[in-house]
Structure 1
Amino acid sequence: MSEYMLVLILSISVPLVLSFYPPLKIYRNIKGLFYSIGLILLIFGFWDIFATWRSHWYFNPEGVWPIRIANLPLEEVLFFVVIPFCCIFTWEVINYIKLRIK
């Protein structure tokens, strides 16, 4: 397993499990969640494709899996799904805590 994939799995594990805690209501607007993550994936995915195409940066083949989507390693594509989900989860947890404190 690549180190990049391991970091993604560790990043998503707690938010994914806790997102099913009913009072958090992470999935109350599932459509908005998908739109938000999709927009990030679209914008930054194209930017990443362009940057690698222009050789602004590259991905060391020894550090990522050989599976590629639009010439990006699978880990890089998943990054644009996992990290926005973690951010939205954190936002919802903070809002939940703020309401509980009042």
Structure 2
Amino acid sequence: MGQLSYLAVLAGCLFAAIWLEPALRVNVLRRWRRLALTLLAVVAVFVAWDLAAIAVGHWSFDPAQTTGVLLPGRLPLDELLFFVVVPICTVLGFEAVRAVRTPPGRPRRPDDRWSAGDEADHRPAGDEADADRRRVR
């Protein structure tokens, strides 16, 4: 089990977060393009960081706790998977909190999730929005 330790931790993280997708309908996996762009940014930065740290000898991995599969630059496959799994779990957790904290009276639409955070997401819906517009005029 030692060589699968890293993968076991990653599987546990994913297992702990993946249930949020169907239970709270956060729609993170359904919006796979947005998730892929997020992962691309994270993976690119941290793989480059790890490769640089490995190259100068500042960073290493215990072969007894990894699968032993090394990618170019001596980066373990397990580490690359870490850079994919942890951001997925983070986004799932963030969207789950947003789903639970939706203010009363605000519609909970699937397209409302994982938005860019523009001003429209924070306006009241329906009659409240009309009342707010009338007050502003």
Q: Same fold (TM over 0.5)?
A: yes
2:81 matched to which residue of 1?
78
> What are the superposed Cα offsets for residues 32-82 of structure 1, whole Å, 9 maximum, x if unpaired?
111001110011001101100110011111121111122211110000000
Alignment coverage as a number of residue pairs: 101
Structure index of larger Rg? 2
**Contact 2:24/2:99 (<8 A) preserved:** no
1:11 matched to which residue of 2?
13
Q: 1:27 deviation in Å? A: 3.2
1:42 matched to which residue of 2?
44
Superposed, which structure 2 residues align to 1:19-34 within 5 Å? 19-21=21-23, 23-34=25-36
Q: Which has the higher contact order (CA 8 A, sep 6+)?
A: 1
1:97 has 2:103 as partner: no
Q: Choose 89-98 or 9-18, whichever is displaced more.
A: 9-18
Give the unaligned 5+ runs of structure 2: 105-137
Q: 1:95 deviation in Å? A: 0.5
> Identity over the aligned pairs, expressed in percent?
27
**Contact 1:45/1:77 (<8 A) preserved:** yes
Give the unaligned 5+ runs of structure 1: none
Q: Distance in 1 between matches of 2:25 and 2:65?
A: 39
TM-score between the two structures when normalised by the length of structure 2 = 0.67
Aligned counterpart for 1:67 among listed residues 55, 66, 69:
69
Q: Distance in 2 between matches of 1:60 and 1:14?
A: 25
Q: 1:23 deviation in Å? A: 2.6
